């Protein structure tokens, strides 16, 4: 059975973890241990998981089902009962327990006929069964009623990716971004899709948008520099070096990948500058920056991977830094 695909498949959970504070993480872990050992607090645990927008699917399914299957506990929730049905349905689909998900959704359908929110769950259930065409039809119908439903737009992108149709996913994402230009995750997803098709100039545009909207996020500077380096050409290499340098500045000099990027740019620029006059070479050389980057890389390896210092020194020498 296929799992329901998620938008921004590989990075979404990492971003969610970054948003959780240490205090919240400690509280969640304590509650989890307490509940697992029969100490109560299952509802508090499930509420915190939901509040932090995490997906502890196996635990949610286990403890959520336990509450829903007990009439007294379920009735004590009041209106939150329906929230729990929704949470358990999504967890069940994550765990490929389609029967449990289907039961939860049927309860919600009965109590909220015609609900768009329940309609989204029905679409997810179709996805979890691998019924992509039917899921697409369900989502298209929901969008006719509410063209500004962000979650549904993203589900359609996820379906296209699951079916191995990146070009369709790109088209859908571009349409989505015409409506929601401030969605940073969507710009990142679009950039990654362009990169998967080796459409580097289009990916560069996405990272430019991200840098404009969030100029202090080093990840965007680094990714943009990588794309410019890949495109090549002396102008792009000089720009890539600037964005690698910006990454280093934003991370307090602790980004080894950016340091290596400067070294690689220096080598490539030197190769492309052969045959140019001395004035042009001097304008593109930046020898001090190149030297500092190479020294910082060697220092980093000396501290963290001393066994590989000789290897990295040999590589840097071959680049003629």
* Per-residue pLDDT tens digits for 221-249: 999 999 999 999 999 999 999 999 999 99
- pLDDT category at 279 given cuts 50, 70, 90 is low
Residue 276 lies in a domain: yes
Same domain, 15 and 126: yes
Same domain, 231 and 110: no
Burial of 221 (0-12, 13-18, 19+ CB in 10 A): buried
Same domain, 117 and 18: yes
119-136, pLDDT tens digit by residue?
999 999 999 999 999 999
- Distance CA(246)–CA(138), nearest Å, equals 45
- Per-residue pLDDT at 282: 52
Share of the chain above pLDDT 90, in %: 71
Q: What is the CATH number of the domain that holds 16?
A: 1.25.40
Residue of 265, 283, 273 lying closest to 319 (CA atoms): 265
End-to-end Cα spacing for the chain: 53
- 0.85 exceeded by the pTM? no
Residue 71 lies in a domain: yes
Same domain, 125 and 29: yes
Residue 38 scores a pLDDT above 70: yes
177-214, pLDDT tens digit by residue?
999 999 999 999 999 999 999 999 999 999 999 999 99
Residue 8 scores a pLDDT above 60: no
Mean pLDDT of 73-90: 95
How many folded domains does the chain comprise?
2
Residue 1 scores a pLDDT above 90: no
Residue 115 lies in a domain: yes
Contacts 24+ apart (CB under 8 A), 217-220: 217/250, 218/246, 218/247, 218/250, 218/251, 218/255, 218/258
- Per-residue pLDDT at 283: 53
Residue 167 lies in a domain: no
Residue 5 lies in a domain: yes
Which of these three, 130, 145, 179, is where a domain ends?
Answer: 130
Residue 269 scores a pLDDT above 60: yes
- Residue numbers of the domain that contains 314: 215-321
Residue 141 lies in a domain: no
136-167, pLDDT tens digit by residue?
999 999 999 999 999 999 999 999 999 999 99
Question: What's the length of the chain?
Answer: 321
Burial of 201 (0-12, 13-18, 19+ CB in 10 A): exposed
- pLDDT category at 16 given cuts 50, 70, 90 is very low
- Per-residue pLDDT at 284: 63
Residue 315 scores a pLDDT above 80: yes
- Per-residue pLDDT at 245: 95
Average pLDDT of the chain to the nearest whole number: 89
Which of these three, 113, 130, 147, is where a domain ends?
Answer: 130
Residue 203 lies in a domain: no
- pLDDT category at 43 given cuts 50, 70, 90 is very high
Q: How many CB atoms lie within 10 A of CB 265?
A: 28
- Per-residue pLDDT at 206: 98
Q: Do 62 and 38 meet the contact criterion of CB atoms below 8 Å apart?
A: no
- Distance CA(166)–CA(134), nearest Å, equals 20
More confident site: 64 or 272: 64
Which of these three, 130, 154, 183, is where a domain ends?
Answer: 130
- Per-residue pLDDT at 12: 46
Contacts 24+ apart (CB under 8 A), 49-52: 49/87, 50/83, 50/87, 52/16, 52/19, 52/20, 52/24, 52/28
- Per-residue pLDDT at 3: 42
- Per-residue pLDDT at 120: 95
Q: Which H helix or E strand runs over 281?
A: helix 278-285
Residue 296 lies in a domain: yes
- Per-residue pLDDT at 106: 97
Q: Is 56 left (phi over 0), alpha (psi -120 to 50) or beta?
A: beta
- Per-residue pLDDT at 286: 76
């Amino acid at each position: 059975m296929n799992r329901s695909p998620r938008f921004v498949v590989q990075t979404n959970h990492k971003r969610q973890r970054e948003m959780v504070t240490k205090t919240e993480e400690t509280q969640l872990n304590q509650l989890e241990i307490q509940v697992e050992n029969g100490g109560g607090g299952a509802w508090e645990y499930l509420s915190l998981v939901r509040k932090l927008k995490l997906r502890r699917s196996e635990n949610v399914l286990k403890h959520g089902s336990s509450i829903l299957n007990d009439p007294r506990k379920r009735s004590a929730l009041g209106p939150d009962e329906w929230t729990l049905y929704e949470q358990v349905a999504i967890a069940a689909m994550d765990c490929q327990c389609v029967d449990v998900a289907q039961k939860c959704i049927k309860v919600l359908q009965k109590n909220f006929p015609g609900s768009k929110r329940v309609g989204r769950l029905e679409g997810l259930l179709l996805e979890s069964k691998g019924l992509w065409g039917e899921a697409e039809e369900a989502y298209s119908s929901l969008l006719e009623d509410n063209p500004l439903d962000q979650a549904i737009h993203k589900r359609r992108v996820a379906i296209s990716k699951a079916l191995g149709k990146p070009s369709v996913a790109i088209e859908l994402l571009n349409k989505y971004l015409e409506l929601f230009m401030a969605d940073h995750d969507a710009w990142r997803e679009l950039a990654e899709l362009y990169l998967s098709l080796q459409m580097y100039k289009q990916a560069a545009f996405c990272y430019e948008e991200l840098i404009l909207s969030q100029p202090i996020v080093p990840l965007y500077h680094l990714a943009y520099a990588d794309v410019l380096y890949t495109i090549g050409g002396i102008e792009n290499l000089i720009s890539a070096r600037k964005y690698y340098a910006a990454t280093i500045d934003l991370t307090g000099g602790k980004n080894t990948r950016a340091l290596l990027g400067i070294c690689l740019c220096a080598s490539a620029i030197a190769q492309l500058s052969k045959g140019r006059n001395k004035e042009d070479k001097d304008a593109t050389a930046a020898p001090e920056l190149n030297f500092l980057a190479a020294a910082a890389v060697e220092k980093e390896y000396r501290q963290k991977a001393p066994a590989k210092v000789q290897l990295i020194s040999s590589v840097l020498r071959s680049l003629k830094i």
